[in-house]
Structure 1
């Protein structure tokens, strides 16, 4: 599924549950929470967790958790974008332009 199509699906999903009306400020807080969970998932893959209160996790399960947390971060970003009427293509183009300009690749 293309990024814009996923964003449209996601906004509809959130609207049907009355979640979309939450402010972008609240969404940024949700994103912060998700980034923390992503950090934990990366740590588990890079150096392990080794927490006595948690069961051991297989490499496949750790990778699956990473994919899940990346998706959660992406979804929060896409909802914030929709709140400000910013398209994924607009973000990608702006990002590429900034990097090319910064490193003189225009």
Structure 2
């Protein structure tokens, strides 16, 4: 799936569920909630949770959860960007320009 396909699919799916009606403050709340869930998934994958009330889970299951949480974060970022009429392509172009300018004096093979 291309970034444009992902963007369109997310907007369509969220719209059908009525999730596209939320404004920027509510959307930011969802984004932060999902970022927290992603942080938990990263911790579980990297160092475990070390809790007696949670069974140890296979690495493949932890990785699947990690990927799903990354998708949840991306979905909310796509919707937040849409509120401001910003495409993910535009966002990443701006990000690349900013970092390239900031670190212009350094040599990087992928600039």
| Residue aligning to 1:10 | 10
5+ residue gaps, structure 1, are none
C-alpha distance after superposition, 1:24-55 (max 9, x if no partner): 11011001001111111111122111212222
Q: State how 1:89-104 maps to structure 2 within 5 Å.
A: 89-104=89-104
Runs of 4+ aligned structure 1 residues displaced above 4 Å come to: none
Give the TM-score of the pair, scaled to structure 1. Answer: 0.94
User: Superposition RMSD on alpha carbons, in Å?
Assistant: 1.3
Give the TM-score of the pair, scaled to structure 2. Answer: 0.90
Alignment coverage as a number of residue pairs: 106
Q: State how 1:1-106 maps to structure 2 within 5 Å.
A: 1-104=1-104
What is the alpha-carbon distance in structure 2 between the residues aligned to residue 18 and residue 65 of structure 1? 25
What is the alpha-carbon distance in structure 1 between the residues aligned to residue 48 and residue 19 of structure 2? 34
| Deviation for aligned residue 1:75 | 0.6
